């Protein structure tokens, strides 16, 4: 992928990640329902995603396919957040997340499993 995706472009990607390869028309229909966007807005954003290398277009019917996974984008966004806001310290991000929420026993156990996996 050539560049960072903006929030509006991520809405396009979420439709593709959720529904798989689909037409631009279908993406437009879904986002009209979810956000109220008109077809021109959606098509412009799809074209931006194509230019950035996040979506591949094919014919017939302006079929769209995600070229980046949700996990790849989440990792890039998380890394940017850690660098920009937490001075490159994942520990500071983790502490901030834990300090602001009351977690259930199940959520705490899930976090322990994640940490254990990386040790």
Domain coordinates in residue numbering, the chain:
7-66, 70-118
- More confident position, 93 or 46: 46
CATH tag for 7-66 (out of 1.10.10.10, 3.60.110.10, 3.65.10.10, 2.40.50.140): 1.10.10.10
The pairing of beta strand 22-23 with beta strand 55-58:
unpaired
pLDDT of residue 52: 96
Q: Closest by alpha carbon to 34, among 4, 17, 61, 14?
A: 14
**What residues does 55 pair with on adjacent strands?**
66
pLDDT confidence of 10, banded at 50, 70, 90?
A: very high
For the chain, the average pLDDT equals 91
pTM of the model: 0.80
Q: Closest by alpha carbon to 10, among 43, 47, 41, 49?
A: 49
Residue 102 has pLDDT above 90, yes or no: no
> Which of helix, strand or coil describes residue 57?
strand
Residue 42 has pLDDT above 80, yes or no: yes
pLDDT of residue 57: 96
């Amino acid at each position: 992928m050539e560049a960072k995706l903006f929030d509006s472009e991520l809405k396009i990607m979420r439709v593709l990640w959720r529904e798989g390869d689909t037409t631009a028309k279908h993406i437009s229909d879904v986002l009209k329902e979810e956000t109220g966007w008109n077809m021109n807005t959606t098509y412009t954003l799809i074209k931006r995603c194509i230019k950035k290398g996040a979506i591949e277009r094919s014919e017939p019917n302006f079929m769209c396919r995600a070229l980046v996974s949700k996990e790849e984008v989440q990792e890039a966004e998380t890394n940017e957040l850690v660098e920009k806001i937490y001075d490159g310290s994942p520990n500071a991000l983790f502490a901030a997340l834990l300090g602001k929420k009351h977690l259930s026993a199940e959520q705490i156990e899930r976090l322990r499993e994640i940490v254990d996996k990386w040790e």
